[in-house]
Amino acid sequence: MNAVPAFRILGLPAEPFAPFFAMSDAELAAQGAVRRIADDRVPGYPCRVSLTDSHPGDTLLLVNYEHHAVHSPYRMRFAIYVREGETRFDAVNQVPEQLRLRTLAVRGFDAAGMMRDRALVDGREVETEIAHLFADEETAYLHIHFAAPGCYAARVERA
């Protein structure tokens, strides 16, 4: 079996979302965002900054976010959850539990933002798919999405 090459998983930076937490519900609505209180669903609501799931009672914001701001047909935006005060997940060769608990769509893109390949994978086996997609030398980075809702989860780079 081939070894999995080094990879780096990144959550979103927290700073762009910080101003939203001080907004009223009306101000959020004007931005197309909403405040939510997490219930007891398992797994919880996935924060795209820390790549952790919510706990009952957590305050989250549901915002529309452009996660693939490229000049190609694959430019993308979708709804994501973020929690206040979270630290950006940034780790080499570590997969956060949030990703392990879900079925994932993993998409490989070249430097021009064009999709090279894609796969559906059980989160417990995502390293194998990361290795497979990065075997294509033209693949510059990967995006992981939660397969059922289709929303963006995280970015993967070569480490």
At residue 2, the pLDDT reads 57
Domain-wise residue ranges, the chain: 7-158
- Return the percentage of the chain with pLDDT > 90, whole number: 97
pLDDT at 1 over 60: no
Q: Output the pTM of the full model.
A: 0.93
63 phi/psi in degrees, rounded to 5: -130, 155
Q: What is the pLDDT of residues 64-105, one digit of tens each?
A: 999 999 999 999 999 999 999 999 999 999 999 999 999 999
CA distance 106 to 110: 14
58 near 44, Cβ under 8 Å? yes
